[in-house]
């Protein structure tokens, strides 16, 4: 009887975990794994030989690896977004995952007084800029609506 009451008042919900570890999915790609092995081999060669040719070969392979990894990431993210029921939520998950991966966050170098001045005088500046043109304001309003 107690179980029936609990089932009616607090039903058990099944939660499906939709998060996939993107890094694991990228590493499942055969081309990426082969490029990673090549990159590791070039790194060892570069460290042993310590000449310009091996360094250049390593950098070329590293650039190719980064480029292919980015392509696979983009493809996997687009598949993830297209298969999602709520596309906006999926897009924000992708954005949050990508921004969390980057540790370097730049501090803003904008001066608050300059921003305030810009937004406070935007109307006057726009009027001054368009006053000297021979464009009909109705035409500009039509462009803004479309």
- 118 and 97, same domain (yes or no): no
pLDDT in tens, the chain (146 residues): 666 766 666 666 554 444 455 555 666 778 888 888 888 888 888 888 888 888 898 999 999 999 998 898 888 888 888 888 888 888 888 888 877 766 666 666 778 888 888 888 888 887 777 666 677 767 767 765 55
- 71 and 136, same domain (yes or no): no
- Model's pTM, two decimal places? 0.50
- 52 and 75, same domain (yes or no): yes
| 6 lies in some domain | no
| 139 lies in some domain | yes
Full residue range of the structural domain in which residue 133 is found: 111-146
Residue 79's SS3 state is: helix
Of the candidates 141, 111, 145, which has an alpha carbon nearest to the alpha carbon of residue 126?
A: 141
| 3 lies in some domain | no
Cα–Cα distance measured from residue 42 to residue 59, given in angstroms and rounded to the nearest whole number: 9
Cα–Cα distance measured from residue 70 to residue 129, given in angstroms and rounded to the nearest whole number: 42
| 11 lies in some domain | no
Going through the chain in order, the beta strands assigned E by DSSP cover: none
| 85 lies in some domain | yes
- 97 and 115, same domain (yes or no): no
């Amino acid at each position: 009887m107690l179980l029936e009451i609990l089932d009616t008042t607090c039903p058990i919900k099944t939660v499906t975990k939709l998060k996939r570890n993107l890094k694991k999915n990228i590493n499942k790609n055969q081309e990426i794994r082969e490029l990673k092995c090549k990159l590791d081999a070039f790194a060892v060669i570069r460290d042993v030989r310590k000449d310009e040719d091996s360094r250049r070969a390593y950098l070329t392979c590293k650039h190719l690896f980064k480029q292919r990894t980015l392509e696979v990431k983009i493809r996997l993210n687009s598949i993830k977004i297209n298969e999602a029921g709520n596309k906006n939520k999926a897009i924000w998950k992708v954005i949050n995952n990508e921004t969390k991966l980057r540790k370097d966050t730049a501090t803003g170098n904008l001066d608050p007084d300059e921003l305030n001045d810009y937004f406070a005088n935007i109307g006057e500046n726009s009027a001054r800029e368009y006053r000297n043109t021979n464009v009909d304001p109705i035409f500009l309003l039509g462009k803004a609506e479309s």
